[in-house]
Structure 1
Amino acid sequence: MKMKIDPAFFAPSVAFFFRWWVRSIRFEIDGYDDFTALVNQKKPLMLALWHNELFSLIGVGVRKKLPLVTMASDSKDGQIITDILERLDYEVARGSSTRGGLKAMLGIARVMREKGKIGVITMDGPKGPRHKIKPGILAIAQKAGAPIIPMRAYPSNPFVFKKSWDRFELPKPFYSCKICLGEPFIVTDHKLDQEYLRSEALRLENIMEQLGK
């Protein structure tokens, strides 16, 4: 007889362990003062991340106690992620690029406008291609009237999962991690047809590639 265990049972332990892990990391943040000045204006704002740097960047958000909203899939795995993120003080809109994406995008835009939270999107998630922007973040930013802040993580000597599609990087406890926050990226006010989506995505990809180098 199989015993059914609610995945939410593990969320408190995972969240506790995550907090311990990121507290041990020595974060060095470039561009944080300019970012804080934008946050203090209480206007909609978004953070743009790559999926492989997610652990470090979620970690610095938790360490700095930023008011963040992100999305998670409507799947069972998404429910587990949601339970953990909510215990880390994130607000979560359900849906993804493959399931319920429009609902989640509208949800993030609404929370940003109504609650003044910062939207967080892994631009190439959940399945890649690696470091190629999907249109979701551009559509949310335009709808919410929010600048996009490019954000990169450079952990020293991380564990790298070379067989994963994104080459996921796991920062080691007690090591340093450089975080880079770029200048605000303003999405065009033109209708985001295929031509504009391609050009805006390429423009942001180039900024992300150069950030911190």
Structure 2
Amino acid sequence: MKIPIDPAAFAPLIAWLFKLWVRTIRFEPEGCTEFAELNKKGQPLVVALWHGEIFPVTAFGHTLTTHLVTFVSQSKDGEVIARMLERIGHTTVRGSSTRGGVRALLKAKRIMEQENRMAVFTIDGPKGPRHKAKDGVIFLAQRAGAKIVPIRAFPERRKVFEKSWDRFVLPMPFTRCPVRIGEPMAVTTEKLTEEVMARETARLEARMHELKPEQ
């Protein structure tokens, strides 16, 4: 008799391993390092990152705060990720640009307002194209009256999964990891027409690409 095993049951173990892994990494942040303090003082913020850098950026964020609301897809893999993130203190909302997106954005906005949590957004996820920002982050920032904080992480010793669409980056334990944090970006108050949205996402992409390993 085959006994099915729910992968989400491993979330507590994954969360424990993640926290242990994070403790070994030497993060070296540069730029707007006080962004978490700005949020504590009442400034709504949305943290923007590339999907491929989700592990090192989330790891760095864990050293600062867990007072976050994070978007997770409604897939089976997403269920495992959601439970793991909740174990380390995040609030999660389920949805993506391909499924349940608007509902998730509005739920995240309510959580931001009610609990003063920063939102975390993989702006080119869940399926790419790689390093091409999608509309959701601009929509959320405008509706929540939030600024967008672009963040990138560049672990020196890493495994890059070249065959994945996002070229997922896994930092090796005990590595040095420069982190680059851009100045909070205010989004337009204009109506988000197709033209305005394209302009704002391009502006955010440019901010992301300005962040380099050594500055």
TM-score of the two chains, using structure 2 as the length reference: 0.95
Aligned residue in 1 for 2:64: 64
TM alignment of 1:41-52, pairs within 5 A: 41-52=41-52
Aligned residue in 2 for 1:175: 175
Q: Distance in 2 between matches of 1:59 and 1:32?
A: 17
Determine whether 1:192 maps to 2:192: yes
TM alignment of 1:98-113, pairs within 5 A: 98-113=98-113
What SS class does the counterpart of residue 155 from structure 1 fall into?
coil
What is the CA distance between 1:78 and its match in structure 2? 1.7
Q: Distance in 2 between matches of 1:112 and 1:37?
A: 15
Q: Distance in 2 between matches of 1:189 and 1:195?
A: 14
Stretch of structure 1 that moved more, 24-33 or 178-187:
24-33
What SS class does the counterpart of residue 142 from structure 1 fall into?
helix
What SS class does the counterpart of residue 107 from structure 1 fall into?
helix
CA, structure 1 residues 62+36, in 2 after alignment: closer, same or farther (shift >3 Å)?
closer
Aligned residue in 1 for 2:87: 87
Please identify runs of 4+ aligned residues in structure 1 that moved more than 6 A.
Answer: none
Aligned residue in 2 for 1:21: 21
Q: Distance in 2 between matches of 1:7 and 1:66?
A: 24
Stretch of structure 1 that moved more, 3-12 or 87-96:
3-12
What is the CA distance between 1:37 and its match in structure 2? 4.0
What SS class does the counterpart of residue 19 from structure 1 fall into?
helix
How many pairs were matched up? Answer: 213
Q: Distance in 2 between matches of 1:40 and 1:10?
A: 32
Among all aligned residue pairs of Structure 1 and Structure 2, give the percentage whose two residues are the same amino acid.
Answer: 49
Aligned 8 A contact 2:70 2:90 in 1: yes
What is the CA distance between 1:98 and its match in structure 2? 1.0
What is the CA distance between 1:64 and its match in structure 2? 1.7
Q: Distance in 1 between matches of 2:170 and 2:73?
A: 22
Aligned residue in 2 for 1:39: 39
Which runs of no fewer than 5 residues in structure 1 stay unpaired?
Answer: none
Q: Distance in 1 between matches of 2:36 and 2:67?
A: 12
What SS class does the counterpart of residue 186 from structure 2 fall into?
coil
What is the CA distance between 1:156 and its match in structure 2? 0.5
Paired amino acid for 2:56: S
Aligned 8 A contact 2:36 2:64 in 1: no
TM-score of the two chains, using structure 1 as the length reference: 0.96
What SS class does the counterpart of residue 132 from structure 1 fall into?
coil
